[in-house]
Structure 1
Amino acid sequence: MTRRPTRTRLWALALAVLLLGCGAAGYTLRAAQRAGASRPSADASLTLDGTGERLFVRDTATGRVALAGRDGTRRTGGPVCDRFHAAGPTALCLQRRPGVPARAYAIVLDRRLHEVRRIALPGIPNRARVSASGRVLSWTMFATGDSYATSAFSTRTSILDLRTGYLVKDMEQIPLTLEGRRHHAPDVNYWGVTFARDDNRFYATVSTDGRTYLVEGDLRAWSARALRANAECPSLSPDGTRIAFKKKVSDDPKSPWRLYVLDLRSGREQPLADRRSIDDQVLWLDGRTLAYGHAGDVWAGPADGSGAPRVLARGASSPAMVR
């Protein structure tokens, strides 16, 4: 004989279903939150639009992009990034993903800092650059290692043309001319790209045979040639006549570099007044002033080697001047 369920059993069954449903909903919510945390989200009021020059930085405390005021104030609310750069109507956000091996995303953002394209990458985010027009982007990832101060590292640098959508996954494909001859070697590494205003010519660092070189490249001609040795992480001035870079001046792994500015016409190098070892791709705030990250803050100093460095933004990195 089949027993009819009692009122108590019915209530117990209903309670069990309710608890299971709440548990599933909680799991779904947590999964959605985890998924959402990996995607950049921005305050709708924080955009690249505005009057005059606007300095954006990565806020160290939150990892979010922020607008830094000249009075020391900071307006946060931008996307979460490990490296950031912006110019014109475009921003580039490099975002590390959790897990092993190291992985990341290169995320293209529009003027409202909304995501328009996402590219999955292997490695650790290292350098990010947007051309002045906002139409050509480049990023560098550490494929192995995480510091330029040792020889045990390898990089992978990409270029994305937003006009055509064409992606150069690895710049090592670009033919390199070194000392007047075509150079072939398995240890060629590119990093730290900076673009001229024509969105075609670029400068970058190449390492091979244990040495580093400043190279000038041509995207349309698909070529690059070395200009001089011992120059890393170049940054082209707004007028295209000078390049700021870091130069190795010591074998001490704790302080190997010093910042210099190269006059492309005369070939003259000028060291900056800041004698500290700076490991960053500097930013030209204007034709006279450079900004760079060091020791957890963004600093600024004259490009002609005079004066002294000053703190531009505390607890910040990845400066980007949007005009």
Structure 2
Amino acid sequence: MTRTTRLLVLLVAMLLLGTAGTGAVLHAADRSARRDVAQPGGPLVTAGPLSLRAPPDGRLLVFRNLAWGPHRDELASVPADRPEGPRTASGVPCLRFHAAAGTGICLQAERGALQDTYRAVVLDAGLHELRHFPVAGIPTRSRVSPSGHLAAWTVFVSGDSYAGTDFSTRTSIVDTRDWTRYDNLEEFSVVKDGHPYQSHDVNIWGVTFADDSTFYATLATGGQTYLVHGDLAARTLTTLHQNVECPSLSPDGNRIAYKKRVPGLSADAPWRLYVLDLATMTETATAEQRSIDDQALWSDGDTLLYAVPGDFGADLWSTPADGSGEPHRLLDAALAPAHLGR
């Protein structure tokens, strides 16, 4: 190759690099200018104010937005009767979230150079931080009591899935009135089948509140899971029913929605969504035939809301709690919902 040819090749390469660099800058500028335009196939998401107070003229659905774009993983809201409409994004990132009576619990990741850490943040109605607590693992479940006085969260201390048995959880409750913290519910006294019970393999997860002293949760031990009735003042957990995971108490306090392991299903997808009558301990299978790995939410006294894997990570689906009807997709690209209002 002659000296002249080498110079021409170098000049062409420099021109190509310059063109590519200019294109990248213009593309970034175009993306910035279209921050609030719906991503292809996704919903429109715009920044705006978001309150955890129940709206006076309807119901609000607040959730973790999973739509691609600058507002992914932020808390967002839509009117509950128009879930397909434009979303208002708050700017507050959450991995798991729940809210009631103007109090929110937001489980967040803090990105580190070598390792991510996590924290539980208690929010007021304006999404301002009231208090935060470091957590010992990956966030997985969260709930606020109907009064807004108590908040609970569960994290994986080891492992990252409920499907197998090789995992450990840590579940905590905090009283937002005086910041009393019950850091590890495994320290509570367990009554199993009417007798005091102790074991090194006890795991607790998935709190759901009845009031400011009574809650329900899952207890796992000896390869089995149990629905437990929790008494915060007495610091006790009493088993009620076997094969119950991630319970969710109905608004009337009479039923528990939960995921149940069904024999014969895949080890990676072992659950079906059920409802338990607490008075009779009668189980009712819902019409949802897929494996549901979520803590369902009662959107009203008759309907369950839950996450199913989707194109953006997860979508929210609903199904009747009495086993009738059929499931339908309510909201694309969303996770960890809370209903505000009546």
Unaligned segments of structure 2, at least 5 residues: 1-45
The reply to whether residue 179 of structure 1 matches residue 185 of structure 2 is no
Deviates more, 1:63-72 or 1:222-231: 63-72
1:236: Cα distance to partner?
Answer: 0.4
Secondary structure class of the residue paired with 1:255 = coil
Aligned partners of 2:237 and 2:119: how far apart in 1? Answer: 27
Residue number in structure 1 paired with 2:13: none
Contact map agreement 2:241 2:281 (CA 8 A) in 1: no
Q: Pick the aligned partner of 1:241 from 240, 244, 254.
A: 254
SS at match of 2:90: coil
Post-superposition Cα deviations, 1:178-228, rounded to whole Å, max 9, x if no partner, equal 1111111111000000000x3111000000111100000111121110001
Residue type of the alignment partner of 2:64? R
**Contact 1:68/1:313 (<8 A) preserved:** no
Q: Is the 8 A contact 2:47 2:88 kept in 1?
A: no
Change (3 A) 1:135 1:44: farther
1:172 counterpart SS class = helix
Of the candidates 108, 111, 128, which is equivalent to residue 98 of structure 1?
111
**Residues 107-129 of structure 1: CA deviation (Å, up to 9, x unaligned):** 01000111111111121000010
Structure 1 residue corresponding to 2:126, chosen from 102, 106, 112: 112
Query: C-alpha distance in 2, partners of 1:162/1:104?
Result: 20
After the TM superposition, which of the residue ranges 42-51 and 263-272 deviates more from structure 2? Answer: 42-51
Distance in 2 (CA, whole Å) between partners of 1:102 and 1:214 is 32
Q: Which runs of 5+ in 1 are unaligned?
A: 1-41
Q: CA deviation at 1:78?
A: 4.2
* Structure 2 length-normalised TM: 0.80
Query: Could you tell me which residue of structure 2 aligns to residue 301 of structure 1?
Result: 319
CA gap of 1:111–1:230, structure 2 versus 1, over 3 A, is: same
| TM norm structure 1 | 0.84
Give distance in 2, aligned partners of 1:169 and 1:157.
7
2:43 aligned partner: none
Q: SS at 2:94's partner residue?
A: coil
For the residues of structure 1 that align with 2:170 and 2:116, how far apart are their CA atoms? 13
- CA shift at 1:136, angstroms? 0.3
Aligned match of 1:168: 182
- Structure 2 counterpart of 1:60, from 61, 66, 81: 66
Task: State the partner residue of 1:75.
Answer: 88
Q: Do the aligned partners of 1:94 and 1:106 also contact (CA within 8 Å) in 2? A: yes
Residue 150 of structure 2 is matched in structure 1 by 136
Q: Is the 8 A contact 1:44 1:112 kept in 2?
A: no
Task: Give, in whole Å, the separation in 2 of the partners of 1:227 and 1:101.
Answer: 39
Q: Give the length in aligned residue pairs.
A: 281
1:192 — aligned with what?
206
CA deviations 1:31-64 (Å, max 9, x no partner) are xxxxxxxxxxx96721113223211111013001
8 A contact 1:102–1:124 mirrored in 2 = no
Q: Distance in 1 between matches of 2:136 and 2:246?
A: 21
- Cα deviation for residue 252 of structure 1 reads 1.6
- 2:136 is aligned to 122
State the shift of 1:277 in Å.
Answer: 0.2
Distance 2:334 2:89 in 1: 11
Q: Is the 8 A contact 1:78 1:113 kept in 2?
A: no
Instruction: Establish whether residue 201 from structure 1 lines up as the match of residue 214 from structure 2.
Output: yes
Structure 2 partner of 1:319: 337
Note if contact 2:247-2:256 (Cα within 8 Å) is conserved in structure 1. yes
1:283 maps to which of 266, 288, 297: 297
Query: What do the CA deviations read for 1:83-141 (whole angstroms, capped 9, x no partner)?
Result: 01111110110012234655301001000111111111121000010011111010000
Q: 1:45 pairs with 49, 61, 64, which one?
A: 49
